[in-house]
Structure 1
């Protein structure tokens, strides 16, 4: 089958086309014939080698965490899916391909309320948002949540899911993102590139850093957090900073104890209730040029919507 990945770390020119065997599945896995998949910032970070100190990678590696397609084979222990089902998957790796495999706990039946390209944009951002809010921060209705990077791919999803869960959400981003963040449902907006009033300090029960700013973002988070509150960072390179607020600092890492099927069920309900909106920026072809161009767009940042590849 045709697939795309890397044999070394580097810029988008290290991406290669591979002709490899269709994956063999285990008893708890399904084999999916890919229709569409998303290009995520995580894919670009993997390609760049940003996580090489945290994540063991064997070359060649086929990239891609998210995909939508048709089940063509199911392992003997699979009970949630049948051949012919259209599924949305958080495979973790290998979706830049004509076929990919995924554990049944990391997939969901395709939600009819979504366009197929929108569906491909959901898994990584949606599941990260859900798990961060529900399992890591344990956000409660009425609590004040500050989202740093609220207009970004994951930050925008955190903002929407948090509102659906009943939190009071304050989005923090560049001033030009004001309209975007408010359209996501944020109750307030703070532009971090403009001077802030001291009254905006000490306001948050929970702060989630969904930026790549590392220590700059953490310093902002500390200023916004209440005494004895919680800061969660999605940036693996950020570290706790000394402060006098007795804050709980928690780097968010993938937690495989919680099946993605639970998150998918909750997210699909939110979509059906029109509490989550997913925007697609551009659809690229399933070619080396298309995938390189898609990753370059993602690398530039500041995208209004997701980059999708259609087979």
Structure 2
């Protein structure tokens, strides 16, 4: 089968197409013919080696983690799916990748594809959906009457997280450029900060949660908008000791991450708030719940561009520019 492989670290120029064998599935896995694969920023960051300390890969490695497709084979322990079923899944942090004609998908990572979504639409959801769910449902425990700040509202995470936060009953503030104000308002944003004119930390006050999506010192500055008891959940770091413990890392790595996160944890505590780093995990049960929201029209996919499989590297390069409004998806099958 054809797959997009990272052969060695060094950036997107070390990524190329190759013919490799179809994955051999384990008893708890399914072989899925990939119809579409959603792209995420981590897909162009992995080739640079950015995540080597926390996401060790055996090279060559098939890139990509989000997919939607058709089950063609099931392992002996699979009970919820059968050949012919349409599914979507995240296989992030698992051995295989989604930018290939076929992928091995653990049953626990998959959910039925919502019937009202195309494969392209479904493939745009898993990582942004699960990240938003785990950040706001599990970590923030966001609910009616609370307020959350979601920076970069027009991006892949932002466009989904705004909708999920509104479903949970929260009031949502976001930041974006002037040209994207109408988009984020259409998704439910209650207050929009045009970052070309204002700074969120000077405009917003007394928020229950912040979703950290921007690199640099943006999250640290945003702590000023949290009220006592507020929670900052970061998707971009710094990783903390709790993350190291959850991944079973050694004492050295726990110490390193403790030191890396000490500053922002201290600043959060000064505001009687908390800081946590989130590394998304595959979860078919959560994805099924998200699928129900999609099927009911309570949230919707937002897609910027669709690339063919042959253009997958171009898709990664486009996403790297940081200008996408919503998600970028690679389409492998025409139907």
Higher relative contact order (CA 8 A, sep 6+): 2
Matched, 1:79 2:79: yes
- Report deviation, 1:199: 7.2
CA distance in 2, matches of 1:99, 1:172: 38
Residue 130 of structure 1 deviates from its aligned partner by 1.0
1:233 lines up with 2:256 in the alignment: no
Task: Tell me the residue number matched to 2:158.
Answer: 155
Q: TM-score, normalised by structure 2?
A: 0.85
Aligned to 1:278: 301
Asked whether the 8 Å contact 2:65–2:98 carries over to 1, the reply is yes
Gaps of 5+ in 1: none
Match of 2:323 among 302, 306, 310: 302
What is aligned with 2:67?
67
| 55-64 vs 220-229, greater mean Cα deviation | 220-229
- CA drift at 1:95: 0.8
3-state DSSP of counterpart to 2:70? strand
Range with bigger deviation, 247-256 or 19-28: 247-256
Aligned ranges 1:186-197 → 2 under 5 Å: 186-196=189-199
Counterpart CA distance in 2 for 1:281 and 1:174 is 16
User: How far apart, CA to CA, are the structure 2 residues paired with 1:187 and 1:158?
Assistant: 13
Match of 2:32 in 1: 32
- Confirm or deny: 8 A CA contact 1:231 1:248 kept in the other structure: yes
| Residue 249 (structure 1) aligns with | 275
Rounded to whole Å, the distance in 1 between the matches of 2:141 and 2:58 is 35
Cα distance in 1 for residues equivalent to 2:200 and 2:316? 38
**Quick one: distance in 1 between partners of 2:142 and 2:213?**
16
Shift of 1:9: 1.9
Higher share of residues assigned helix: 2
How far is 1:276 from its partner? 1.4
Structure 2 Cα separation of the partners of residues 228 and 136 of structure 1: 13
Aligned to 1:218: 219
What does residue 285 of structure 2 align with? 262
**What's the CA shift string for 1:183-224, capped at 9, x where partnerless?**
11111112234235987343201111122x23x212232111
Q: TM-score, normalised by structure 1?
A: 0.92
Q: Which moved more, 1:138-147 or 1:270-279?
A: 270-279
Which stretches in structure 2 are left out of the alignment for 5+ residues?
Answer: 240-260
Note if contact 2:201-2:224 (Cα within 8 Å) is conserved in structure 1. no
- Going from structure 1 to structure 2, the CA distance change for 1:198 and 1:217 (only over 3 Å counts) comes to closer
Partners of 1:187 and 1:138 in 2: CA distance: 19
Tell me by how many angstroms 1:255 deviates.
4.3
1:168 and 2:197 equivalent? no
Match of 2:129 in 1: 126
Distance 1:167 1:73, change over 3 A: same
Partner-residue secondary structure (3-state), 1:151:
coil
SS of the aligned residue for 1:131 comes to helix
Which whole-Å CA distance do the structure 2 matches of 1:197 and 1:217 have between them?
9
- Counterpart CA distance in 1 for 2:196 and 2:228 is 24
Aligned to 1:113: 116
- State how far apart, in whole Å, the 2-side matches of 1:198 and 1:217 are: 9
